[in-house]
Amino acid sequence: MSPEGPTPTPTPAPAPAPAAALRWEPAAALLARLTQAARFDCEYGRGLANHLPMALSSLARLGADDARLAAFEAQYVKRLRGAPAARPWPVGSAWRAPLGRRAAWPAYRSLFAEWIAHEGASDVLAQVLPWLWPGVAAAGFHGLIRTASAVRCGHAGEVAEGLAYWSCRYLPLGVLPDAPRTGRGAHTDPVALLRRLRASPSEARLIVERMHQAAQDGAVNAVAARLIVTEDTPRLLARAAAQALAGSGNFTALHLVTATHAMRVLTRFVDEPLVAWRSFWQAYAHAVVAARLQRQAPAVLRSWEELERAALGSDDDHVIKLVDSCREEERAWGEPGQTLWRQAASQYMARAAG
C-alpha cells in the first residue's frame, strides 16, 4: 500500500470473540479515572510505557471495585511524571509527517482528541489504523495495546491518547518483501518460520531496542516474508504467543500475548485485516528474535478463579493485563478442555513471583 494512497473505507471485519465478551459496560468511576489519567506523560523513567490506563481497564474487567482501582492508582502514579503542556496541531500539517518523533506527542494528543470529537472514534480508527500498522512495533507494541484497551472501554479521550502514543513512537522494521504465493518458499505456518530465526545477541534494555537492532540486517524480514497470511493466521499467532509464554515465562512473550489480543480488538475497524496482520507478523517475528526464549519447567496450573483473584490483588501492571488478555484469548480461540492460556498466565505469574 502506498503511503500516499486513498484512505480505505471502513468495513469492520467480524471478531471471533463471543458476543458476551463485547457487551461489557465500563463503570462511570473507571471512565472518570481514565479521564484523569491523561494528566500524566505517556512514558516514565528511561522510556518505559505508562500502563496506568491499561491496568485500570483490565482490573475493572476482572471485577475490581472503585476502591481497588483507587488503591492501584495511588501506588502506580508515584512512578509517573506530569504531561507536558498541551500543544495545538500545526494548521495545515499532514498528520503522518512527524510519525516516530517522540517530541510530537503533545501535538498528536490535540490532533486525535479534536479529530475524534468531530468524527467519532470508530471512523478515526478506520482512517488512521491502516497507516499505523507498518509501525506497530511502536514502544514494544504499547501504542497498539493502549489503543485497544481504550477501545474496549469506549473512552474516546483514551483512544486519542493511545493513537498519539503509537504515532509518536511509530517504528517501521524495514521493507517486508512480497510473500511467495506458492512453491517451496511459501508457508502458512508461522511457527515453522520462527524456528528458522536466531535469537538476538543484543543486550539492549528495552524490547523495542532489541527489535530495532534485529531489523538492521534484513535477515528476519527475509524469513518473515515467506509467510502467506490467511484467515487462520490470527489464531496461529495467538496460540504461538501463548505457547511461547507457557514454555518460558518470558517478558517479551507476555507482550506477544497482549499484543495479539489487541490486534484482534482493532482489526474489526479496518477493511483489510489481513494486511494489518502481515505488518503485525513482521513485528512479531522481530520480537521473537529479541526475546531469546529459554524453556522453563512448567508452573503449577492455576484455575481461572485463582488467576483472577491473584491479578485483582496484584500491583504488577503486567500480571493484571496478562490475566485479562489470556482470559479473553481463551474465550476467542480456546477449545473444550484446553488450558493453553491458563498455562501461559500461570507460568508468567510463577516466574514473576520467583
| Any domain includes 125 | yes
The answer as to whether 232 is a domain residue is: no
**So what's the pLDDT on residue 17?**
39
Q: How far is CA 271 from CA 74, 101, 133, 225, in A?
A: 41, 28, 13, 22
Q: How far apart are CA 141 and CA 224, in angstroms?
A: 18
Q: List the one residue out of 212, 221, 248, 249 whose CA is nearest residue 348.
A: 249
Distance CA 219, CA 107 (A): 36
DSSP-H helix ranges across 120-206: 121-132, 138-153, 156-168, 190-194
Q: What is the pLDDT of residue 7?
A: 31
Averages of pLDDT over each 10 residues, the chain, 354 residues: 30 36 72 98 97 98 96 98 96 96 98 98 98 98 98 97 98 88 77 93 89 94 95 98 97 98 98 97 97 94 97 98 98 91 97 84
**Residue 158 in domain:** yes
Which pLDDT belongs to residue 11?
A: 33
CA dist 109 and 118 (Å) reads 14
Q: Which triple of cell numbers denotes residue 316?
A: 504488577
Domain carrying residue 159: 24-168
Q: In 3D, which of 176, 171, 218, 175 has the Cα closest to residue 197? A: 218
Q: Contact, 270 vs 8, CB < 8 A? A: yes
- 112 inside domain: yes
Number of domains in the chain: 1
Q: What is the pLDDT of residue 183?
A: 61
The position carrying cell 503511503 is 3
Residue 12 lies inside a defined structural domain of this protein? no
Q: What per-residue confidence (pLDDT) applies to 203?
A: 86
